[in-house]
Amino acid sequence: MNPDLLPVIVGVGQINDRPDNPLDGRDPVMLMADALRQAEADAEVPLLADAQWLGVVAQIAFPEITDASIPVAESIGARQAELVQSKGPNGDSPILLLNEAANKIGAGEINIALVTGAEALRTAGARKAATQGGQKGDALRDATHRVRLGYAQSHGLVVPTDVYPLYENALRASLGQALAEGQAESGEIWSRFSNVAASNPAAWLRKPVSAEDVITPSDMNRPIAFPYTKLQVANAAVNQGAGFIVMSVGEARRRGIPEAKWIYVGNGAAAHEPGAILARDGYVRSAGMEVSIRKTMELNQLTTADLDAVELYSCFPCVPKMARRVLDWPVDQPATVFGGLTFGGGPIGNYMSHAVASMVLKLRSDGGTGLLFANGGYATHNHTIAVSTRPIAAASFPRSYDFQAEADASRGPVPDLDEDYTGVATIESYTVFYDREGLPRSGVVVARTSEGKRTLAHVPASDIATIARLQGEGAEPVGANGTITAGEPLRTWRFA
């Protein structure tokens, strides 16, 4: 292809907004605009007003802002830009938007593209508390795209914190790991995340944490949903924004942007899981993830040995655990350049904009090639892309990133759902939910019936023995038999 049409990232910006009084924090539009202004300053050339395309990650902190792209464009003077907002506040959105921008640039449709996103949940929570007698509420559970009732929700499977433990527990059992081994791997990965965040000025929490402290419940690290503690889940209570500028090589050269600032964008690949969490083929792998990562490596003709840095999405440990096995990335190598969603910060759908910015800075400093893997929803959306300090010879633009057919073909059969089953069953996965004091609220079991269908069962907190077994006291619950009995309002589980 025409080398002048190769897409390069030329400017990046990141904002941490933490005034002493959270009520004084900036809203998401202000954070997005300020992040893009920083990206322009990083490029050292006026660019924002000339942008022809602006991609914005949807936010949830200020629901009255239904399309942030319009006020962001007005704020930065990008009056001629085509405006795009991601369909949802999903974690794959920044990489999707980067891939879209790269394709448009490679096709010669545009020369300058902007991507940005932000969340201000710290300020949104403080404002809500100020008007509701100190009650901050839960923005994640209150978000309009999650306020619904259904079979899964009635059993407590509402937000990602509730759902990802199903993957964690099923994955651990499938790998033959004891609970202690699975937690040790989580602690190792997360401790390395904290070390990266500690050296990154853009990270929200900049204090190294030991592997043992990550996985050990305490007053400062309460259990959230078994086996995850607070230090193992995304930290969404942040005010953070990030943005980056993508250009054609020809335009970057014409405007005098030094080549030392250029980071070449490679081809990307996306594939997804079914939206309904109970319509998955299982909870030990993600066909969408595997196809997304492998196709990106294939399209860019890369091997793991070619990678100098990676960002493996880290909302919960099960995600980078699965991703690193697809990639064969060693557990003793950092799987982040930003710091992970616990320590770097977890601004809902926009984490990967921070990862892009941090990857650009790392590659400018150290050289080489990086891989950015993004995950969104409930282990639902997957998008991966490669970037490098040099042109990726195999990359060409525009190129489709849709590899859904391959993912669908590699997926196993999805069991039928039986919402009313009673009788003998076998645990497929499970979790225990905790209150803010760290005490069990309830448990939920995903089980297979005697006919192989999938069903859910409730475990009340009052069933101390069953809760204890689910928390690791005794034999591995996954694969164990038990009985589901009628109850009101939910059917309940007991081990055999």
DSSP character string of 260-271 = GG-EEEEEEEEE
What is the Cα–Cα distance from 365 to 17, expressed in whole angstroms? 26
* 3-state SS class at 112: strand
Q: Is residue 145 pLDDT above 50, yes or no?
A: no
Are 112 and 240 found together in one domain?
Answer: yes
Mark whether 255 and 304 lie in a shared domain.
yes
Non-local (6+) Cβ contacts of 462 within 8 A are none
Round to whole Å and give the CA distance between 118 and 25.
Answer: 12
Lookup: tokens for 373: 């893997």
Model confidence at 140, in pLDDT bands (50, 70, 90)?
low
Residue among 129, 192, 168, 75 at smallest CA distance from 378: 168
Strand (E) positions, 313-394?
369-376, 381-388
Categorize the per-residue pLDDT at 442 as very low, low, confident or very high, splitting at 50, 70 and 90. Answer: very high
Q: What is the mean pLDDT of residues 370-384?
A: 98
pLDDT in tens, 188-217: 999 999 999 999 999 999 999 999 999 999
Residue 135 banded pLDDT, cuts 50, 70, 90: low
Which helix (H) or strand (E) segment is 212 a member of?
Answer: helix 211-215
Domain shared by 393 and 454, yes or no: no
Question: 294 and 333 share a domain?
Answer: yes
pLDDT of residue 131: 85
One domain for residues 64 and 114? yes
User: Alpha-carbon distance 68 to 60, whole Å?
Assistant: 11
Residues 242 and 278 in one domain: yes
3-state class (DSSP) for residue 67: coil
pLDDT at 141 over 60: no
Same domain, 459 and 382: no
Looking only at the bridges linking them, the beta strands covering 53-56 and 112-120 are parallel
pLDDT at 185 over 60: yes
Would residue 154 count as lying in a domain?
no
The total number of structural domains in the chain stands at 2
Per residue in 445-493, pLDDT (tens digit) is 999 999 999 999 999 999 999 999 999 999 999 999 999 999 999 999 9
The predicted structure's pLDDT at residue 132: 78
Task: Confirm whether 129 is domain-assigned.
Answer: no
Does 131 map to a domain? no
H/E stretch holding 142: helix 139-142
Query: In this predicted structure, which of 121-135, 151-165, 292-306, 389-403 has the lowest mean pLDDT?
Result: 121-135
DSSP-assigned beta bridge partners for residue 12: 244
Same domain assignment for residues 250 and 314: yes
In a domain, 137, yes or no: no
283 and 395 fall within a common domain: yes
Give the domain extent around 52: 3-123+236-410
The verdict on 347 and 487 lying in the same domain is no
Same domain membership, residue 310 and residue 393: yes
Q: Where does a domain end: 383, 410, 437?
A: 410
The confidence score (pLDDT) of residue 142 equals 57
Same domain flag for 53 and 114:
yes
Q: Is 412 exposed, middle or buried (0-12, 13-18, 19+ CB in 10 A)?
A: exposed
Tokens of 272: 């997804």
- Say if 11 falls within a structural domain: yes
For the domain that residue 78 is a member of, what is the CATH number?
3.40.47.10
Q: Which DSSP string corresponds to 293-306?
A: HHHHHHHTT--GGG
Mean pLDDT of the chain: 96
Q: Is the pLDDT of residue 89 over 70?
A: yes
Q: With contact defined as beta carbons under 8 Å apart, do 344 and 189 qualify? A: no
Cβ neighbours for 465, distance < 8 A, ≥ 6 positions apart: none
Residue 371 within any structural domain of the chain: yes
